[in-house]
Amino acid sequence: MLVGAAPFGVIFGTLAIGSGLPVWLTLGLSLLVFAGSSQFVAVSLIGSGTALPVIWLTTFVVNLRHALYSATLLPYARELPARWRWALSFWLTDETFAVVENQLRLHSNARDGAWYWLGSSLAMYCNWQLWTVVGVLLGQSVPVLATLGLDFAMVATFAAIVALQLRQRPVLFAALVAGGVALLARGLPYKLGLMLAALAGVAAGVLAERLAERVNRPTDPQASP
What string marks each residue from 128 to 167 as x (binds other proteins by CB under 8 A) or -? --------------------xx-xxxxxxxxxxxxxxxx-
Distance CA 104, CA 84 (A): 16
Supply the minimum distance, in Å, between the C-beta of residue 121 and other proteins: 11
Give the residue with the Cβ less far from other proteins, 52 or 106: 52
Site string for other proteins, 182-221 (x = CB under 8 A): xx--x------xx--xx-xxxxxxx--x------------
User: Residue type for 8, please?
Assistant: F
Return d(Cα 10, Cα 138) in angstroms, integer.
Answer: 8
The interface mask with other proteins, positions 95-114, x = CB under 8 A, is --------------------
* Cβ distance to other proteins smaller for residue 103 or 209: 209
Assign 98 to helix, strand or coil.
helix
How many other CB atoms are there within 10 angstroms of residue 139's CB atom? 25
Instruction: Tell whether residue 52 is a contact of other proteins (CB under 8 A).
Output: yes
Report the residue from 13, 77, 104, 139 that binds other proteins according to the rule CB under 8 A.
77
Give the sign of the dihedral formed by CA 139, CA 144, CA 146, CA 152. Answer: negative
- Give the integer Cα–Cα distance in Å for 106 and 93: 20
